[in-house]
Structure 1
Amino acid sequence: MKICCVGAGPAGLYFAISVRLRDPDHEISIIERDPPGATYGWGVVYWDDLLDVLYRNDRESAQQLRAASTLWQEQEIRLNDADSAYLGGYGYSLGRAAMLDVLARRAQTLGVKIEYQREITDPAALPDADLIVGSDGVNSKIRQSRADVFGTRTDTGSNPYIWLGTDKVFDRFTFAFEETPQGWIWFHAYPSSAGISTCIVECTEQTWRNLGLDSIDHEEGIRLLERIFERPLEGHRLISQSRGRPAQWLRFTQVRNESWIHDNIVLIGDAAHTTHFTIGSGTRLAMLDAINLAQSLYDNRNVEVALRDFDQRARAALRPIQAAARSSMAWFERADQYLDRDALSFSYSMASRHEPQPPWQYQLHRVTQVPAVRKGMRYFDNGRRWFLALRRGESVTAPIRERLPLGS
């Protein structure tokens, strides 16, 4: 079968890898409008559940992705850099450019042809393909060319945000909320590559306009953000350029489709669905789409049956995740309503934004702020992480004690 993927992001690349591993007789090509290595954004986050899946699906690329990743432990919520609270847990982060490099090399090793700097705006331009996979992101041209039959609905969030980098290295996933005379503004930051952290700045529309960020020069706006966040950034700079592209202020676009298939066309990843960045699931869902579609094609030699199977199962599994993402986006859009609280109460509200919690949960949250309890939780997390890594066959060499975050 001749398969063409439009878009060389994580979804398209990993789908090509997954198909070739299951059936090397398929002829697969990927067409990407940008040059090699061009990507908007800095880092992505993921957790052990994705690593488990990646190791089962393709150990070679999983090992390379894990080797390029950084571990972070705990989440810290800072209010005006004077009051902090903590949430437990850990995760991994990885530079998006590094991820694409790993996946592109692996795909090419498996015989996938990648053609860069060619834009496809209509599936009709690919008449020889038996299957066309729209993996071209949130602004998918493949989806837009058939929006009526996919039943596409898009909603735009109200909060402006900008995806930046910083040379301040965070060892925790950090939320810093700063109050200005014009209103509250905050960032979400986490390590993404050696010496660099991702820093997503967000605020309400009113604060954004009051600060003049809608009208001042781009570089002047970046310097203003550096002054606002001088304390949590500890004087480090914000970086706007990512592989030659200056970051832009955006509003989150939520994409939903009544169907992800039409004739011999299927949508995956952000072309099919988006989830708000505050739940950190976009890359994970894109790669799961890739695996599930590849498996459906392997299990069902009839393409029509395979696509229908994928569409029904994948969309059903996504519904609760998108509901949680909508709740998370809505909470951050009205975060100003909760910022008159202390960090302990505010962080609890943030942690419980997806669903109501029983009364005892708040008392447990209070207990987890005790330094000795937090230290015990970190050791427990390290032991769990160690066990999961050994179970999936991941090489573990660093002692547990060396992976604890510095400080309290």
Structure 2
Amino acid sequence: MKIVCIGGGPGGLYFAISMKRRDPAHDITVIDHHPLGSTYGWGVVYWDDLLDILYRNDPDSAHAVRTRSVLWQEQAIHLRDSDTAYFGGYGFSMGRAALLEVLSRRASDLGVDVQHGREVLDLSDFGDVDLIVAADGANSRVRQRDSHRFGTSVTLGENRYIWLGTDKVFTRFTFAFEHTSAGWIWFHAYPSVAETISTCIVECQPRTWCGLGFDSQDNRGNLRVLEEIFARPLDGHSLISSTRGEFARWNRFPEVTNTSWYHDNVVLLGDAAHTTHFTIGSGTRLAIVDAVVLAQVLYEHAEIADALDDYDAQRRAALRPIQACARTSMAWFEHADRYLDRSAVQFAYAMAARHGMQMPWQYQQHLLTQVPPVRKVRRAIDSAHRWWRAARRGERAMAPPSPLRPPAPIRSDPPIR
């Protein structure tokens, strides 16, 4: 099969890897309009469930991803000057540039033609291609040219956000909420590059954004104001705006949905097909699951049309509740000021309950897990659980797989976080 994948992000690259793992005879080209080594954004976050999928599908790239990742434990919610609450659990994160480097190298090693710095303006050059995979992001040009056929809808969130880096090294997934004369503003931060760089996503309501002058200041002015506001949680460290030689810009989150994920021989994957708000941390994970499922149905079906129909049915059904959850989370943060008059512990519980009803005993459990000795015990339990998951998937002693043996089918979605 001759395949062209437009978009060199994690979803597009991992689809190419997954197809080659199932049949090395496929002729696959990945076209990325960014130059080699450039990327936008800072870090991506994921959990054990994604590592389970990666190790089942392609242990080589999974091992490289895990090796380049940072482990973080607990989540901290800082409110005002010194009020802090905690969630248990752990997760992993890594720099987006490192992730793309790992996946690009693995794809090339498997025989994928990865092309950088090439712009695709239309699809007329691909008349002899069996399948075109549009993995070119939320603003997909491939999707936009036939948006009426895909049934595309894009709805913008109310809050403004900006994706930044910082040289403050966070060891936990951290939320910090600060009150200003114009209203509340907060960030979500997590480590990206071990002992070097963290990701820091700043978010606020529109009236706060305007009241602080972010609609009229230049980039350096924005950073100075944000560094002053967050001086305490950043411990005086700097915020970093520039990636790919460009300054980060304030945005409103675009929720992308489509009534069909394919048309003729063009199929959507990752953010081109769907977006989920960054407060549930699932974008990269869902793109990779899309990639695995699409590769698997193409392996199972003799006809491409049947495979695309199966993929469309599976993934759109799976994404419906996840996007609903993300929509709820986005709306909760758009009205977070309703809850910010509470203590940090009460506010953190409201944040945890934003996806739905909680049982009465869960609040008591939440209170208990704020006690330092209980938190220490929970961290020990999490460490044991993490060790068990790693041993079960073969992370501790990985044997190189046969490149000719197709991986086991993977259809399940990771749970919503």
TM-score (norm 2): 0.94
Further displaced range: 219-228 or 32-41: 32-41
Deviations 1:365-403 (A, max 9, x none): 11111111111110000000000001111128xxxxxxx
The residue type paired with residue 320 of structure 1 is P
Structure 1 counterpart SS, 2:5: strand
Contiguous gaps of at least 5 residues in structure 2 = 398-417
Counterpart position of 1:294 = 295
Q: Offset at 1:62? A: 0.3
Q: Offset at 1:149? A: 0.6
The residue type paired with residue 265 of structure 1 is V
CA–CA separation in structure 2 for the residues paired with 1:20 and 1:13: 11
8 Å CA contact 1:177–1:184 kept in 2: the answer is yes
Deviations 1:45-81 (A, max 9, x none): 0000000000000000000000000000111000113
Q: Offset at 1:243? A: 3.4
CA–CA separation in structure 2 for the residues paired with 1:178 and 1:121: 44
Q: Offset at 1:38? A: 1.6
Counterpart position of 1:80 = 80
Q: Offset at 1:358? A: 1.5
CA–CA separation in structure 1 for the residues paired with 2:211 and 2:266: 45
Counterpart position of 2:312 = 311
Counterpart position of 2:415 = none
- Alignment of 1:182 with 2:182, yes or no, is yes
CA–CA separation in structure 2 for the residues paired with 1:160 and 1:37: 28
Structure 2 counterpart SS, 1:352: helix
Structure 2 counterpart SS, 1:353: helix
**Equivalence map 1:4-403=2 (5 Å):** 4-194=4-194, 195-395=196-396
Counterpart position of 2:3 = 3
Q: Offset at 1:245? A: 2.4
CA–CA separation in structure 1 for the residues paired with 2:44 and 2:250: 18
8 Å CA contact 1:156–1:254 kept in 2: the answer is yes
Structure 1 counterpart SS, 2:232: helix
Q: Offset at 1:130? A: 0.8
Q: Offset at 1:6? A: 0.4
CA–CA separation in structure 1 for the residues paired with 2:114 and 2:178: 44
CA–CA separation in structure 1 for the residues paired with 2:231 and 2:277: 27
The residue type paired with residue 45 of structure 1 is V
CA–CA separation in structure 2 for the residues paired with 1:128 and 1:319: 34
Q: Offset at 1:363? A: 1.3
Q: Offset at 1:115? A: 1.5
The residue type paired with residue 7 of structure 1 is G
Q: Offset at 1:357? A: 0.7
The residue type paired with residue 262 of structure 2 is I
Contiguous gaps of at least 5 residues in structure 1 = 397-408
Counterpart position of 1:399 = none
CA–CA separation in structure 2 for the residues paired with 1:300 and 1:308: 10
Aligned residues: 396
CA–CA separation in structure 1 for the residues paired with 2:34 and 2:381: 44
Q: Offset at 1:359? A: 1.7
Q: Offset at 1:39? A: 1.3
CA–CA separation in structure 2 for the residues paired with 1:363 and 1:154: 40
CA–CA separation in structure 1 for the residues paired with 2:95 and 2:33: 21
Deviations 1:317-375 (A, max 9, x none): 11111111001000000001111111011000001100111122111111111111111
CA–CA separation in structure 1 for the residues paired with 2:259 and 2:396: 42
Structure 2 counterpart SS, 1:160: strand
Counting aligned pairs with the same residue, the percent is 62
Counterpart position of 2:403 = none
The residue type paired with residue 236 of structure 2 is G
Q: Offset at 1:117? A: 1.5
Deviations 1:208-241 (A, max 9, x none): 0000011011101101100000000000000111
The residue type paired with residue 390 of structure 2 is A
Deviations 1:266-304 (A, max 9, x none): 000000000000000000000000000000000002100
Structure 2 counterpart SS, 1:304: helix
Q: Offset at 1:133? A: 0.2
Structure 2 counterpart SS, 1:84: strand
8 Å CA contact 1:81–1:176 kept in 2: the answer is no
Q: Offset at 1:125? A: 3.4
8 Å CA contact 1:40–1:245 kept in 2: the answer is no
8 Å CA contact 1:121–1:145 kept in 2: the answer is no
The residue type paired with residue 174 of structure 1 is T
Structure 1 counterpart SS, 2:316: helix
Counterpart position of 2:413 = none
Counterpart position of 2:407 = none
The residue type paired with residue 345 of structure 1 is Q
Q: CA RMSD in A?
A: 0.9
